[in-house]
Amino acid sequence: MSSHPGPDEDHVDRMRREWAHARPDLDTEPIEVMARITRIGTRALHQLDRALEPRGVSRAEFDLLCVLARNDRPLRTSEVTAVTMLSGASTTKQVDRLVREGLVQRRAFERDGRVVLLDLTEAGRELVDQELPDRIGREARFLDGLDEDERKTLAALLRRISVNVEAGERHW
């Protein structure tokens, strides 16, 4: 069995072929989609990590900055945690570092001084404004060869899978 893909073969094709040999009793059809989603996501995130490295921020920190950048108001830490899916402790750790780097600021909530709001500094906004177009450009290149209708169909199908996954999480 060749370890290199043919012209229209990828890692998942080889993996399914190997499972068919090792476990012919299993229907590995779901791997056809889910393994590809995982591999695409992993590789895309690896490329993002490499692109962010010179900026001195991690992917989790960049995601946090993006959450703040796309909102028109400062957010509570709990709101950021809910969107990023980080733990509360991890969010606090990321925010602490971003505050030290001058990318995020903490502000007291006017109506309740016990509540802390998070907002981007000008430097944080500049970082997002510089890096986000590059990320979108990389992701657009991943979709090369798909026309507009194919992209819309793919997005709709992935949305359905995403809804199923999120619904499954609520049942754990």
| Tens digit of each residue's pLDDT, the chain (172 residues) | 445 556 788 999 999 999 999 999 999 999 999 999 999 999 999 999 999 999 999 999 999 999 999 999 999 998 999 998 888 899 999 999 999 999 999 988 777 667 789 999 999 999 999 999 999 999 999 999 999 999 999 999 999 999 999 888 766 5
Residue type, 74: P
pLDDT for position 37: 95
On whether the CB atoms of residues 116 and 108 are closer than 8 A, the answer is yes
pLDDT for position 171: 63
Separation of alpha carbons 108 and 138, rounded Å: 37
Q: Which residues pair with 106 in a beta bridge?
A: 118
pLDDT for position 1: 43
pLDDT for position 6: 67
Separation of alpha carbons 67 and 16, rounded Å: 38
pLDDT for position 85: 85
